[in-house]
Amino acid sequence: MTHQLDLDFIRGQFPSLTDAPTNEWAHLENAGGSYVPNQVIGLITELFSHAKCQPSWDFGPSVLATEAMDRSRVVMAELFNADPAEIHFGPSTSQNTYVLAHAFRAGWAEGDEIIVTNQDHEANSGVWRRLADSGIVVREWQADPTTGRLDPADAAALITDRTRLMAVTHASNVAATVNPIRELADMVHAVGGRIVVDGVSYAPHGVVDVQALDCDVYLYSAYKTFGPHIGMMFTKADLLEEIAHQGHYFNAGITSTKLTPAGPDHAMIGAAAGIGDYYDAVHAHHFGASAAGRFARTSELFDLFGTHEEALMEPLLAFLRERDGVRVVGAAESDHTVRAPTIAFASERRSSADVYAALIEAKVSCGHGHFYAHRLVTALGLEPEDGVVRLSAVHYNTAEEIERALAVLDRVI
Ligand SMILES: Cc1ncc(COP(=O)(O)O)c(C=O)c1O
Burial 129-145 (b: 16+ CB within 10 A, else e): bebeeeebbebebbbee
Q: Is 198 in the pocket of ligand 1 (CB under 6 A)?
A: yes
Q: Is 216 in the pocket of ligand 1 (CB under 6 A)?
A: no
Q: Is 127 exposed, middle or buried (0-12, 13-18, 19+ CB in 10 A)?
A: buried
Residue 159 CA to residue 310 CA, distance in Å, equals 35
Beta strands in 11-131 (DSSP E): 26-27, 87-90, 113-117
- Indicate the pTM of the whole model: 0.97
Query: Which residue from 96, 202, 221, 229 has its CB within 8 A of the most atoms of ligand 1, so it is best to mutate?
Result: 221
The neighbour count for residue 110, using CB atoms within 10 Å, is 8
Query: 51-60 — which CB contacts under 8 Å span 24+ positions?
Result: 51/266, 51/267, 51/270, 52/266, 52/267, 54/266, 55/266
Alpha carbons within 13 A on the beta-carbon side of 373: 35
Helix (H) or strand (E) holding 197: strand 194-198
CA–centroid distance, residue 243 to ligand 1 (Å):
23
- Which ligand 1 atom is nearest residue 223's CA? 10
- Which amino acid belongs to residue 187? M
Q: Is 121 in the pocket of ligand 1 (CB under 6 A)?
A: yes
- pLDDT by position in tens, the chain (length 413): 457 899 999 999 999 999 999 999 999 999 999 999 999 999 999 999 999 999 999 999 999 999 999 999 999 999 999 999 999 999 999 999 999 999 999 999 999 999 999 999 999 999 999 999 999 999 999 999 999 999 999 999 999 999 999 999 999 999 999 999 999 999 999 999 999 999 999 999 999 999 999 999 999 999 999 999 999 999 999 999 999 999 999 988 888 889 988 778 999 999 999 999 999 999 999 999 998 999 999 999 999 999 999 999 999 999 999 999 999 999 999 999 999 999 999 999 999 999 999 999 999 999 999 999 999 999 999 999 999 999 999 999 999 999 999 999 999 99
Nearest CA to ligand 1 atom 13: 32
| Local structure of 191: helix, strand or coil | coil
Query: Which residue from 196, 201, 370 has its CB within 8 A of the most atoms of ligand 1, so it is best to mutate?
Result: 201
Query: Which residue from 127, 173, 219 has its CB within 8 A of the most atoms of ligand 1, so it is best to mutate?
Result: 173
- Which ligand 1 atom is nearest residue 97's CA? 11
Could you give the domains of the chain?
A: 7-34+295-412 (3.90.1150.10), 42-275 (3.40.640.10)
Residue 4 CA to residue 24 CA, distance in Å, equals 25
Q: Is 216 exposed, middle or buried (0-12, 13-18, 19+ CB in 10 A)?
A: buried
- Which ligand 1 atom is nearest residue 229's CA? 10
The neighbour count for residue 71, using CB atoms within 10 Å, is 18
Helix (H) or strand (E) holding 364: strand 364-365
Residue 168 CA to residue 29 CA, distance in Å, equals 23
CA–centroid distance, residue 211 to ligand 1 (Å):
23
**Cα dist from 328 to 40, 322, 349, whole Å:** 34, 11, 14
Q: Is 93 in the pocket of ligand 1 (CB under 6 A)?
A: yes
Question: Cα(first)–Cα(last) distance of the chain, in Å?
Answer: 42
The pLDDT score that the predictor gives to residue 35 is: 98
The pLDDT score that the predictor gives to residue 3 is: 76
Q: Is 92 in the pocket of ligand 1 (CB under 6 A)?
A: yes
